[in-house]
Amino acid sequence: MPKLCKFTSPIDGKPVYVNAALASVVYTFKGEPPDTIIGFGKDFMLGVKEGLEETVAILDRALAEDKPRG
């Protein structure tokens, strides 16, 4: 079962949970401070408070934990 990753909403500081297996892109959007965006397919983008490197590391860890060991 895919693991949900906990991030923080940049607007209200509340938790946001993401299925790491569905994320297709992570990037930084221009601004001050710059926003970290997680993209799911072509139709849905989610901004999170965590930085780019931290976001990628969280998603990578979740995917590594989900892989069957053998």
Tell me the per-residue pLDDT of 23-58, one tens digit each, with 9 for 90 and over: 999 999 887 778 899 999 888 999 999 999 999 999
- This prediction has a pTM of 0.85
* Angle, CA 39 vertex, CA 19 and CA 5 arms, to 5°: 25
Strands (E) in 21-67, as ranges, are 25-29, 35-40, 44-48
User: Range of 41's domain?
Assistant: 4-66
Tell me the pLDDT band of 1, cut-offs 50, 70 and 90: low
Count of domains forming the chain: 1
Half-sphere exposure (CA, 13 Å, Cβ side) for 11? 3
Q: Tally helices (H) and strands (E) across the chain.
A: 1, 5
Residue where the block lists tokens 């979740």: 62
